[in-house]
Structure 1
Amino acid sequence: MKTNYLHQGDCLPFLEGLPDSAIDALITDPPYASGGLHIGARQQSPTIKYTSSGRNQLHSDFTGDHRDQRSHLRWMLLWLSECFRALKPGAPICLFTDWRQLPTTTDALQAAGFTWRGIAVWDKTEGVRPQMGRFRAQCEYVVWGSKGDMPIKRDVGVLPGAIRQVIKQTDKHHITGKPTEVMRHFNRICKPGGIILDPFAGSGSTLVAAQMDGYEWIGCELSDHYHEIAQARLNGL
């Protein structure tokens, strides 16, 4: 297994090729298949679902965000089961999700064999998604757990359960990309110097944050466009 290497292609063949019990943490932001209250809305392109203007001149679309609820759950079980095999005993897992897919994500994590341990919050601050007469949709969530028992005596300290971090356009390289500083916070669940796996690398924020803080990493991205962006960011460190 080659670390500090970004693969290009579908995540399932990539994950199937990983050795057993080799990875120290899974930290990833998979497609949510969200963004609508019915299947017609959910199957629209990400630029329509996730940008206020219905179009985006800065970032390319991505695939895999169109599934209905049952197929999304089944798909998550496929790749999470491979991740379970590849993770070391006790390894932590962190899955980003939104409010619509929060129940499905907690189900998928447990059905794949992981122990569910909690939910952390990314507060994007008051600058996002105002809704008159409604609560502002300013948070995304991280469903986290571990492969079996998770020793308390690991050299990671106490981690905050809520991260408040604004989205900066200079650090936004993907329609749904997470800020590098957010990923630096969540990567700290991994033991120092450990190997972090991200099978949905996108524009590379998890991997860039890992490299900045001295972790090893291994990732995969399906899109040629975003693989190129992620690789350029990693090469620039």
Structure 2
Amino acid sequence: MDTNRIIHGDAVTELQKLPSSVAQSIIADPPYFNVLEDEAWDTQWKTAADYIAWCDAWVAESMRVLRDDGLAFIFGQLGKREHTFLHLMSRLSQQHQFHDLIIWDRAVGYDERRDSFTPQYEMILVLRKGESVKFNKGSVRIPYDAATIETYLKDKRYKDKDARRAHLEKGKYATNILRVPSLKGISKEKCGHPSQKPIALIEKFVACSTDVGDLVLDPFLGSGTTAAAAQRLGRQWLGIESDSSYIEIAETRLAADATLFSKS
């Protein structure tokens, strides 16, 4: 199977053409259903039931393509009073094996509201296929600053200070609340997609769920963030995208990214 390429087409249709059990990780950022109300691809379903039925189909095909020890990361978000993703998570967790729920703390809020708290997070439902999964916990450590390391080294319970310093300098293990700033219009990383995710976030998912050479699949590639993250980390990748304008953006981005990192 050819990898490191973008497939132009419908996610469900193209997923059905792929072999079973080939992807080590699936990272999917699908339409959220009436959250981005100005985007036709997010408002194409008449009812929440229609949207959930569509999700049933593409998730089922994605899980078929996933390896037995793989993980599927599925992004979702609540709208102003929209709660469809809550129902979808419940449904998918009944149909497939629940593994985790990650909260992406965007660091800044959006869509100010007069009668409730300003939302600042999105959710990532994580599903697994088998009883055991590949998970590289050490790849998603969060560095301590120098002052914190020096403070922790004063703990008298640890006699081997060199070993303790080496441990601290690796950083602490990440929790399932990941604080990564969202992309703003002035961000150099921003490249034309209204729901583009920061590559620093996607890299965490690629790093923790795959090894070098493994295949990462994104059924909704958009501007190519998953492919760029996989490319940087030495993974194989495969993306599906229905919008030709986004494919053009992704291809340009990936070519520039490959050139940049080949020189570094």
TM-score band by shorter chain is: 0.7 to 0.9
Letter in 2 for 1:81: A
Give unpaired runs (5+ residues) of structure 2.
139-172, 258-264
Q: CA deviation at 1:213?
A: 1.4
Counterpart CA distance in 1 for 2:120 and 2:238 is 30
* Residues 1:118 and 1:168: Cα distance change in structure 2 (over 3 Å): same
* Residues 1:79 and 1:127: Cα distance change in structure 2 (over 3 Å): closer
Counterpart CA distance in 2 for 1:105 and 1:189 is 25
TM-score by length of 1: 0.82
Aligned partner of 1:102 among 67, 76, 85: 85
The structure with the greater share of residues assigned to helix is 2
The alignment-based identity, stated in percent, is: 27
Look up the match of 1:142: 124
Counterpart CA distance in 1 for 2:40 and 2:69 is 32
What is the SS of the residue equivalent to 1:91? strand
Give unpaired runs (5+ residues) of structure 1.
36-45, 51-60
1:236 aligns with 2:240: no
Q: Give me the CA root mean square deviation.
A: 2.0
Look up the match of 1:220: 240
Counterpart CA distance in 1 for 2:100 and 2:60 is 19
Look up the match of 2:50: 71
Look up the match of 1:203: 223
Q: Give the aligned length.
A: 213
Q: Contact 1:202/1:230 (CA < 8 Å) preserved in 2? A: yes
Counterpart CA distance in 2 for 1:184 and 1:118 is 17
* Residues 1:70 and 1:162: Cα distance change in structure 2 (over 3 Å): same
Q: CA deviation at 1:197?
A: 0.6
TM-score by length of 2: 0.74
> Which aligned segments of 4 or more residues in structure 1 are displaced greater than 6 angstroms?
none
Q: CA deviation at 1:19?
A: 0.7
Q: CA deviation at 1:174?
A: 0.6
Residue by residue, what CA displacement relative to the aligned partner does 1:71-129 show, whole Å, maximum 9, x if unpaired? 11110111111112111112101000013233233134335x42112210111123533
Look up the match of 1:129: 111
Counterpart CA distance in 2 for 1:187 and 1:104 is 26
Look up the match of 1:17: 17
Q: Find the structure with the greater CA-based Rg.
A: 2
Q: Which moved more, 1:15-24 or 1:65-74?
A: 65-74
